[in-house]
Chain A
Amino acid sequence: MLIKRKQFLQVGSLATASFMLPKFLKAFEKPMMVPAGNKVVVIIQFSGGNDGLNTVIPIRNDIYYKERPKLGIAKEDVVQLTDEVGLNPALVAFKDLYDAGSLGILNNVGYPNPDRSHFRSMDIWQTASNANDYINTGWIGRYLDAQCNGCVQPTQALEIDDILSLALKGENNNGLSFKDPRRLYSISNEKYFKDIAAQNHKGEETVDYLYKTMSETLSSADYIFQQSKLHPTAETYPATGLGKDLKTIASLIMSDINTKVYYISLGSFDTHVNQQAQQKRLFTELNDAVKVFTNDLKKNNRFQDVLMMTFSEFGRRVAQNTSGGTDHGTANNMFFISGGLKEKGLLNALPDLADLNEGDLKHKVDFKDVYATVLKKWLGADDKLILGKQCDYLNFI
């Protein structure tokens, strides 16, 4: 039991020894206790279809300003990255990450025959299916199926939310969703539940499913709660939804938990009307939480091993609509944040606004290539098995 021994070491010898260490040496303690090389992915879903063009802004593109006379963000207002590219004014901390070489921006990500319905396109992204295929398992769920065969604690993928997303539902394994480790633990720690869950059950399919979920929850709840208490983060996170979620994740990343994938969502980015205020509010929440989170990881020497990535179910139309917003579009950009990026900054060219498909961006990179890259190069998983085909790999990690 490697994990237990490690915990013992931390609590036992190091804790007592630390009495005698000078203060400056204590700073080195914690990083040494965290397992190195344990790669983790944190996925942030922008729900509702984030407007990519007002996220990564082509500040020298006349077409952009022509199509968005009211909604276009002026060059002097953006957070400028290069002569041609600016970020949404709310993403100040992303500029610091960019300067430090910890931010990658991939443009024009999408898929052929894009669907403009929220839930369908979200399903496509979450299941990693083609636009005309229907799959009822998610790509992370299938990663669990491939990875987690017979594993003791089904905690390899955690979603910090009340509702488990399709992305984390596999054929035989589900990710686990909870809002707060303590709440999950307190509900699960009851003898009656443990007793009926221990009953040898053979029933109708749905009954079995419920019992399986129950047993897994009971065994995992205790494990997650114990892990969450090992190294609670000392940083002050913003008191927003995302701030709290990233705080929970930070504490778990600093522990010995076997979690490889964390999943959270932010929204709604469905800005048909009054886009500017809504996107600003959400990006401010994102910016402030990510800033503290990345600093926290850096201080604890974990930034190298953590990859954050963002996505949305689609981008939005190039042209603004008449209600101060934008309608559903197609291809979009993704952010990658990590101390371990191999390629940094702008990973490819900005969208070509002169070459549109009925007013929408054409995709240049299939999002399944991104998944394949993350699965293979970051998580060391069998991407071909999980995605059902051989995709092309990208080079940012």
Chain B
Amino acid sequence: MPIPNRLKNQHLLWRAGFGPMAENAAGLDNITSKQLWEVLLKTSSKEPVKLVVASNVVDGLEKGVDDMVQIEKLTKEEKKAIQKQSREDLKTLNLRWMDEMINSEAQLREKMSFFWHGHFACRIVNIYFQQTLLDIIRNNALGKFSSMLREVSKSPAMLQFLNNRQNKKQHPNENFAREVMELFTMGRCNYTENDVKEAARAFTGWGFDVKGEFVFRPFQHDAGVKTFFGKTGNFDGDAIIDILLQQKQTALYITQKIYRYFVNEKADDVKIAWLANRFYQSDYDIEKLMEAIFTSDWFYEEKNIGIKIKSPVELLVGIRRLLPLTLQNENAQLLFQRALGQILFYPPNVAGWPSGKSWIDSSTLMLRLKIPQIMTANEVISIRPKSDDDSMMGQMMENKIAEKLNKSYSDKGASAIVDWEAVATIFKTVSRENLLPKISDTILQTNSRINTVLLLTYLNNESRENYIKSVIINLMSTPEYQLC
């Protein structure tokens, strides 16, 4: 059976973006996926506007200061206050970026950025560094992976997070070198412990100054001869990155990850090898790689549609794209992120977020099923997720944050005012008897559908709008809606 245009287009929108938006959802029957891809490319071609939340530049710079000596000069209270402000600002940055994911027409760019945000996982409570890193990622999200890798590696956020400031000639700290290879470029088992040690020596001296600018400190750098991937020379950090990019394994590792994330968790080695080769030949051009995927025929095969479990952020953003709504308490989204296991800027560990079935356990699944009702039906529910400081790479997040979030949440609830009129216009040309199947086709990407007889007993027949409303909420509260 041929796959309908609408399903294909929604598939593209869910994978290359965050799902269909209310105002465009009606038109998805009538264009081809190729045309839609051109639109996605065009709307993402502009340079993104930097998201800045640090209260002001001076303030931001001050937070950028993280030299141990300078930190020690501050009083305990001053340190606490800076941390607290940073944490608050990170929440704001989180919500600002979520807004972009929901409302920006640059869906492809934001989705790619979201992917790289997990790839270049970084968990530090320093708003100034975090917003700089996010800017690097959003700017390079569709550009050259090689440039992004270099900029990310030289960002104060990553240098701090992976302890490269402690990596000095006399006492090498291997954390940075190891993660650059294990997580950013090659993947495990493709280098030796000796490669890690030699790379760590090469990265000595990489740091940043008081303004958060990258600096190379020659007196901390080990200028001696290193042997890395069979090459010998007086390598510095840049030379190591060059050698890593010369390895075809790097292209393969990144392509594998992209395929699993954007196409199917079950890797297709033949397709991946073909894509990786092109990626390598194109000097790591991300946009070309994504175009090869999203304009291929195999991407739209049935086995790739409706089988990916949405991550918590994808789920939340997806709901908000289809249901234009005003949240009474924006912070409730942070609580959802937390309880579902994905808080922007707080990846669980250096490896970023796991995916697929790992999002699902008893409590996360039940909360996922409940969220559409909580948002739209004014339901109050008390969640108290514990501090997940256990995988924070030694950087503590205040335990209180959970309780505080929870408090503000239960005070105000997570309810929202949905613009149901806008939602109803998606279906304005659909006859009453066709409404249920049509809405079902718009909401769900799966083959599996909810039993109609059962569903009818839960629908509200008072008015056309109420009917549409109840169909949507009930369909969003299903296991099927967790998939895209």
Contacts and interface: CB of A to CB of B under 8 A. Distances in A.
Interface of A: 45, 47-48, 116-120, 161-164, 166, 174, 176-180, 183-184, 186-188, 192-193, 195-196, 199, 201, 203-207, 209-211, 213-214, 216-217, 220-221, 240-241, 244-245, 265-274, 278, 321-323, 325, 327-328
B contact patch SS: loop
B178 A116 contact: yes
B390 A217 contact: no
B431 interface: no
A278 B166 CA distance: 18
A176 B163 contact: no
B139 interface: no
B393 A268 contact: yes
A322 B168 contact: yes
21 contacts: A47-B390, A48-B394, A162-B338, A162-B386, A176-B362, A183-B383, A187-B363, A187-B366, A187-B370, A203-B446, A206-B308, A206-B357, A207-B483, A209-B360, A214-B369, A216-B362, A217-B366, A268-B395, A272-B166, A278-B394, A278-B396
Contacts of B446: 203-204, 207
Given A162-B339, A179-B385, A268 B365 contact: no
Contacts of B391: 47-48, 118, 267-268
Interface in B375-400: 381-396, 399
Interface in B449-484: 450-451, 454, 458, 474, 477-480, 482-483
A162 B364 contact: yes
A199 B454 contact: yes
Contacts of A271: 394
Given A48-B390, A183-B382, A322 B482 contact: no
Contact of B393 (A48, A164, A196): A48
Contacts of A187: 363, 366-367, 370, 381
B362 A204 contact: no
Interface of B: 68, 163, 166, 168, 170-171, 173-175, 178, 182, 188, 306-309, 338-339, 341, 349-351, 357-358, 360-367, 369-370, 381-396, 399, 446-448, 450-451, 454, 458, 474, 477-480, 482-483
Contacts of B387: 241
Contacts of A209: 357, 360
A207 B173 contact: no
A323 B478 contact: no
A116 B197 CA distance: 13
Given A214-B479, A217-B362, A327-B175, 9 more contacts: A192-B477, A203-B446, A204-B448, A205-B307, A206-B308, A206-B357, A268-B396, A272-B394, A328-B175
A178 to B, nearest CB: 5
Nearest to B366: A187
Contacts of A240: 399
A162 B483 contact: no
B15 to A, nearest CB: 15
A163 B387 CA distance: 12
Nearest to B179: A117
Contacts of A323: 68, 163, 166, 173
A320 B391 CA distance: 22
B381 A321 contact: no
A266 B349 CA distance: 14
Contact of B483 (A164, A206, A217, A273): A206
Contacts of A179: 363, 384-386
Given A162-B363, A178-B362, A118 B349 contact: yes
Given A187-B381, A203-B446, A217-B366, A268 B188 contact: no
Given A186-B381, A187-B366, A196-B450, A174 B361 contact: yes
A119 B363 CA distance: 23
Given A183-B383, A203-B448, A162 B341 contact: yes
Q: Which 5 A-B pairs have the closest CB atoms?
A: A267-B390, A203-B448, A210-B479, A164-B361, A217-B362
A147 B338 CA distance: 33
A327 B474 contact: no
Nearest to A205: B307
Contacts of B168: 322
B148 to A, nearest CB: 22
Which of A47, A174, A207 has the most B CB atoms < 10 Å from its CB?
A207
Contacts of B482: 210
Contacts of A183: 363, 382-384
B389 A268 contact: yes
A221 B367 CA distance: 13
A270 B391 CA distance: 8
Contacts of B480: 207, 210
Which of A217, A240, A245 has the most B CB atoms < 10 Å from its CB?
A217
Contacts of B338: 162
A397 to B, nearest CB: 27
